[in-house]
Amino acid sequence: MELKPSVLSEEEIRELLTTIDEITVKEAKKVNLTSLEETVLVKGEPGGSIVYDLKGRRIIDMTSQAWTLNVGYSHPDVVYAAAFQASVLNHVRYGFPTIPRLKLLLKLKEIYGFERVALNTQGGGWSIEVALKLAMINKPGADTFLVAWRSYHGNSLALTTASHPLPGLIRYKLFGEEKFVRYPYPYCYRCPFKMKYPECAADPCLSFVEKTIKYATKGVNSIGALLIEPVQGPGGVVPAPPEFLKGIIELGGKYGFYIIFDEAQTANGRVGAWSVAHIHNVKPDMMTLTKGLGGGFPVGATLAKEGIKGLSYPEEHTTFGGNPVPYAAALVNLLVIEKLNLVERARIMGDYALKRLLDMKERFDLIGDVRGYGLYLGIDLVKNRTTREPALEEAEEVVKKAFEKGALYALDMPDIIGDEVTMRNVIKVRPPLVIKKEELDEALNILEEALIEVSEEYGYAFTKA
């Protein structure tokens, strides 16, 4: 494949895409209607975990850019697939099948074991909206959905409402609030029922979900589906106990509504398995995917069991939903994950990272809990290990200092009560699955240095390794 521009020169295009001055950056940010980070990222190490900013500063990415780059930045195979596909066919109307789309449908069926698949080029939010549509189509008259406390499912008008409320940060009136009923998520470290797992066997949480079904809805016939992240992501990297996941699937069967697993962040190998459902050997009625599916390209998928009726053209089509370029990238991305054995690598590297983080927990009073699967881990910072009061300022300082030292981490979403932020204290550890051990060690060393500095600054006890 040889790509050559025909109107602009190669030099013009490269300069256009790789150079910018500070004045232009400031002018563009003034024009932009959305929030932007201060740092301008310019170049990623192909198939790696390193990214460089506009000043040439090297950064170890422990976020995979919103947990998306499982195979690393600009993986050569994924980039080649997209470029080749764009060179032969770069767009079709939604209803036209293309070779990448057809093969991706079958590959997802093979990996995840669901008999029906819908693809999109919008991402996880669209995948969930498709699942909600399917629930309503397959259960006529049902238009109520059960969603968890501190969940996050997307940023459309409907899914902003389905997600955890963020008053003050989201300034418009929520749309369709009467369609969503919230149930408590089994956050075992901060159990809403003051119980201890595994002694509780997740029963108080399951019992409360059943009471929600009975007493907080318009009746079981009104419920289309229960939507759940099997590990809450923005909510703080909180794994639901397997008994809870199995229990809600049983409740769905008992009361006749669908169970939808939102595995946007956890699927495609990140948790050391293809999905959390694989870890616990459970199968919901539907599952939604995005993030690491496209290798950096915008792709989403809705998976459904056999027997679930599909969507008509008007119910699903979008202008760019049939674009073969992201589907080509996603198909090759999945093959790269398989050939490099990245699912198993995520498990091994995750076990190593977890061991190091648990060692830090023993040495830093600031760390209350460490949890997660594979390379999908969270560090819960607390002011007091007994009360478990979230350490918000301290967590923000740790992430800030780590970034200054060359490692990019991120925090969970806030809890806002009135004007007060009461939670945003979990540091997320989610590097590309291809991260080298020495890079992982370097990033964890930087994290420890930041923890030491913050512990000294705020007066928390710690011991050095």
Say how far apart CA 379 and CA 443 lie, in whole Å. Answer: 14
Tens-digit pLDDT profile for residues 206-222: 999 999 999 999 999 99
Omega before 97 within 30 of 0, i.e. cis = no
Can you give the pLDDT at residue 14? Answer: 95
Q: What is the DSSP string of 81-114?
A: HHHHHHHH-----TT---HHHHHHHHHHHHHH--
Can you give the pLDDT at residue 58? Answer: 98
Say how far apart CA 255 and CA 209 lie, in whole Å. Answer: 12
- 436 confidence band (pLDDT: 50, 70, 90): very high
- Measured CA to CA in angstroms, residue 219 lies from 92, 169, 181, 204, 216 at distances of 43, 33, 12, 21, 8
60 and 174 co-located in one domain: no
CATH number, position 115: 3.40.640.10
Tens-digit pLDDT profile for residues 75-103: 999 999 999 999 999 999 999 999 999 99
Q: How large is the average pLDDT for residues 429-448? A: 98
Cα–Cα nearest to 229, from 175, 198, 177, 185: 185
Are residues 261 and 288 in contact, defined by beta-carbon separation less than 8 angstroms?
yes
Can you give the pLDDT at residue 202? Answer: 85
Query: Pick from 297, 321, 339: which residue ends a domain?
Result: 339
Per-chain mean pLDDT for the chain: 96
39 and 140 co-located in one domain: no
In the predicted structure, residue 244 carries a pLDDT above the cut 80: yes
Q: How large is the average pLDDT for residues 250-256? A: 98
Percent of the chain with pLDDT over 90: 97
Can you give the pLDDT at residue 419? Answer: 84
What strands lie across the sheet with 367-373, from one edge to the other?
A: 367-373, 376-381, 426-429, 410-411
What strands lie across the sheet with 50-53, from one edge to the other?
A: 41-44, 50-53, 58-61, 407-408
332 and 345 co-located in one domain: no
Can you give the pLDDT at residue 349? Answer: 98
Cα–Cα nearest to 302, from 316, 282, 323: 316
pTM, full prediction: 0.97
In the predicted structure, residue 328 carries a pLDDT above the cut 90: yes
Can you give the pLDDT at residue 2? Answer: 79
Cα–Cα nearest to 388, from 236, 244, 239: 236
Query: What element of type H or E holds 362?
Result: helix 342-363
148 and 251 co-located in one domain: yes
- 418 confidence band (pLDDT: 50, 70, 90): confident
In the predicted structure, residue 362 carries a pLDDT above the cut 80: yes
279 and 362 co-located in one domain: no
- 465 confidence band (pLDDT: 50, 70, 90): confident
Three-state DSSP string of 250-282: HHHHHHCCEEEEECCCCCCCCCCCCCHHHHHCC
Query: Pick from 324, 339, 354: which residue ends a domain?
Result: 339
Domain that holds residue 253: 79-339
Q: Are strands 426-429 and 376-381 parallel, antiparallel or unpaired?
A: antiparallel
236 and 283 co-located in one domain: yes
Tens-digit pLDDT profile for residues 280-317: 999 999 999 999 999 999 999 999 999 999 999 999 88
324 and 239 co-located in one domain: yes
98 and 223 co-located in one domain: yes
Q: How large is the average pLDDT for residues 364-381? A: 98
CATH number, position 369: 3.90.1150.10
Amino acid, single-letter form, for residue 446: I
Residue 139, token pair as written in the block: 């259960």
150 and 272 co-located in one domain: yes
- 3 confidence band (pLDDT: 50, 70, 90): confident
In the predicted structure, residue 201 carries a pLDDT above the cut 90: no
- 39 confidence band (pLDDT: 50, 70, 90): very high
377 and 406 co-located in one domain: yes
Query: Pick from 310, 339, 368: which residue ends a domain?
Result: 339
- Measured CA to CA in angstroms, residue 41 lies from 16, 24, 51, 335 at distances of 15, 15, 7, 27
From the CB of residue 314, how many other CB atoms can be counted at a distance below 10 Å?
Answer: 6
In the predicted structure, residue 1 carries a pLDDT above the cut 80: no
222 and 282 co-located in one domain: yes
Are residues 244 and 186 in contact, defined by beta-carbon separation less than 8 angstroms?
yes
The per-residue b/e assignment along 286-302, b for 16 or more CB within 10 angstroms, e otherwise, is: bbbbbbbbbbbbbbbbb
130 and 175 co-located in one domain: yes
Number of domains comprising the chain: 2
Are residues 62 and 444 in contact, defined by beta-carbon separation less than 8 angstroms?
no
Say how far apart CA 229 and CA 352 lie, in whole Å. Answer: 25
Tens-digit pLDDT profile for residues 107-150: 999 999 999 999 999 999 999 999 999 999 999 999 999 999 99
Q: SS3 for 286?
A: strand
Say how far apart CA 237 and CA 427 lie, in whole Å. Answer: 9
- Measured CA to CA in angstroms, residue 190 lies from 44, 197, 205, 319, 435 at distances of 38, 11, 12, 44, 31
